Amino acid sequence: MSEEVVSLLQKMIRINTVSPPGNEKDLAVFLEAYLKEKGLKPCVQSVEDNRANLICEIGSGDETLLVLNGHLDVVPAQGEWKFDPFAGNSDGTYVYGRGAADMKGGLAALTCAFLSVIPYADKLKGKLRLVFVADEETSNHGSLYYLAHDKKRYSKNYAVIAEPTELRVCKGHLGAERYWISFKGSGAHSSKPENGCNAIYLASKMINALEQYHIELRKRSSSYGSPSCAVTRIEGGEKDNTVPSSCKLFIDRRTVPGETKKDIDNEIDIIIKNVFGKEKDRVEVSSFFDFSAGRIGEDNPLIVTACEIAKRRRGEEFGKPIIFGAGCEQAIFTNGGFDTIVWGPGSLSQAHVPNERIPIEEVTEAKKLYEELIFKMLR
């Protein structure tokens, strides 16, 4: 079986699902045929043109649903590669290629764990479902489409996202709220600056306040770390000899689980009122990007079980859940009604970089970890 998980991973790397455009349907159709050969009844769920999710289910009963999730798309193979990113080569220690770690390695391990459970499908107390989605890297359309079209929920709903965590169980991930903040001044000849209202000076007041805001945010500690705020871009001014009438800042506010977009909107609003008082109408905020942080309660049976299994098989530190260092779809599945963990083979340091690779040992081990999790959660 360990050879099967490796050869499946290699085949998946060879099917190019770089997004955009994605073309995940090619991989979904390949997996559909692969699962049909094993006597299963998979379904290719069309999301957009040549973009599709792959769904397959075994088990019975209405009590528990365990979803095994991952994304079919990969990011472009930019930068200097020492090998063909879509050849799916292996040297016996690693498998190489775009998506090896993020996250076709996880998909292969989930698929093979799913297949190895088939002989016991009748004994499962609940449903086990593969949900492999399109368009995770750009717009999350695949997951959102799946959740919008399958609203049936069970007494207990769990999901495992096989993003690369080096097999550490992750209880959450940070989110991000990003905004443009525009300042309206009034122009004047720059030899008489007092005749105008300098929009860059307005922006600079806000920059100082945001720098202070970040220091305060870092004092808010939680088991997920602390939030942050950074001004990352500035655009403004019209001419060399004109008092600028407009300026705008871009801010990137990283959130911890529990913080909502509304919370952040309010905090920024308060800063603006404090800094600008009656002149607050000179400032306009527009949200540019909204991605919620994800989390699961540390006493949830899914994370407790996963940590027990990881600790026993991989050592003491694997029993402690950590925070996933990047964005992922945990919050989307949580909002969809699933208690969700992030847990998969491969390193995040290999994601989105040239010469991506994954240790074969982690892929084969992930398959065994998932098998145990399935039996424990659906017994």
Binding region for Zn ion (CB under 5 A): 102-103, 163
Q: Which is nearer to Zn ion, 133 or 197 (CB)?
A: 133
In the complex with Zn ion, which residue's Cβ is closer, 32 or 163? 163
Q: How far is the CB of 137 from Zn ion (least distance, A)?
A: 7
Min dist. Cβ of residue 111 to Zn ion (A): 16
End-to-end CA distance of the chain: 23
CB of 165 or CB of 364, closer to Zn ion: 165
C-alpha pair distances (Å), 358 with each of 105, 165, 347, 366: 7, 11, 7, 12
| CB of 67 or CB of 206, closer to Zn ion | 67
- Using CA atoms in the order 118, 119, 123, 127, what is the torsion angle rounded to 10 degrees? 0
CB nearer Zn ion, residue 237 or residue 354: 354
Strands, E assignment, the chain: 43-48, 51-71, 94-96, 125-133, 156-161, 170-173, 175-184, 188-189, 228-236, 242-243, 246-255, 283-291, 294-295, 322-324, 339-342, 357-359
Tokens matching residue 206: 């806000």
In the block, which residue shows the tokens 């973009």?
A: 51
Closest approach of Zn ion to the CB of residue 174, in Å: 15
Are the C-beta atoms of residues 91 and 40 closer than 8 Å to each other? no
d(CA 267, CA 289): 16
Rounded to a whole number of angstroms, the minimum distance from the CB of residue 327 to Zn ion is: 9
The residue among 163 and 356 lying less far from Zn ion, judged by its C-beta, is 163
Alpha-carbon distance of 313 to 168, in angstroms, equals 12
CB of 375 to Zn ion, least distance (A): 26
- Find the shortest distance in angstroms from Cβ 74 to Zn ion: 8
Token output for 219: 């004092």
Name the residue with the smallest CB distance to Zn ion. 102
